Amino acid sequence: MTTGFFFHSECEGHITPEKHPEASTRLSVIFDHLDRPEYKDLKRIEATAATIETLNLAHDKDYIQYVLDNVPSEGHFSLDDDTYLSKGSVLAALRGVGATCQAIDHIMDGRLDNAFCAIRPPGHHAEPDRAMGFCLFNNAAIGALYARTTHFCHRVAIIDFDVHHGNGTQTIVGRNKGLFYASTHQSPLFPGTGHLNDTGDGVIVNAPLAAGSGGRAFRMAFETRIFPELEKFNPDFIIISAGFDAHVMDPLADLRLEDDDFFWVTDEIMKLAKKYCKGRVVSCLEGGYNQNILGQSVATHISALMQ
């Protein structure tokens, strides 16, 4: 199994205010863990930058221009209460979207079996017309639309196990037939979306979980609700929104998952990907804000991709 690891130093150039949870050092702790011998076979690839046209697959032109027009020469520009632009933010975001699309290209042409994109800012809260929840552009949703338009993958699934619901991804999938979005997330919790009976033009499968649910409830949600619907969908490609803020030690939520749960869900997704879409999986980093455990959680996830 050949697993790609996409990254770019410009993703560390998105600088958030002091003590903001979504800090550039989130990436350095991941890199440190992947220096271990068991990850020597990862194919490390420097990400290219996406074009503005690629952003427009999921985002309104006026919103994209608004972001571009407000990049500060120093300090920060606030897009909402917790989402900021710094001088390097757009360059970072373009590398994040570019990594996602480049990984799809490499998998579709047979150079890789699957891939993980160590990118920031995260994306799944970004709506078509606004930033939200630390997110500028929706990496996973853009990737899904890119796979469909560029590689003619008619059915693209996004699986999101971040502790927060990906409201932006659901909005975009809800507007596009041929896409699938499934999410486990703590509820009630920011952003307050992701209800059990949500529907759209694309397939939407939400599995909200109460605070304190733990790994057993998490796994049951996938086994009884999400995976049966994913099998019905019969995907041509799977994108993972890989958030690790559901970990028991994460400060922003309380689902109480362990690294074994992240390994389990990744392994199960890979089994279905091998059955339905030749193992084609791209995973994009979303949340995870305890830097003492984030690197290990991501390494565990990548171990399951590499099997």
> Would you name the residues annotated as active-site residues?
125
Placement of tokens 């990906």 in the chain: 166
Which residue type is seen at 34?
L
SS3 1: coil
Contact by Cβ (8 Å): 84, 76 = yes
Task: Compute the C-alpha angle 305/26/82, nearest 5°.
Answer: 115
Contact by Cβ (8 Å): 285, 117 = yes
- CA dihedral in degrees (283, 286, 291, 297; nearest 10)? -30
SS3 180: strand
DSSP H or E stretch at residue 77 = strand 77-80
Whole-number Å distance between alpha carbons of 303 and 78: 37
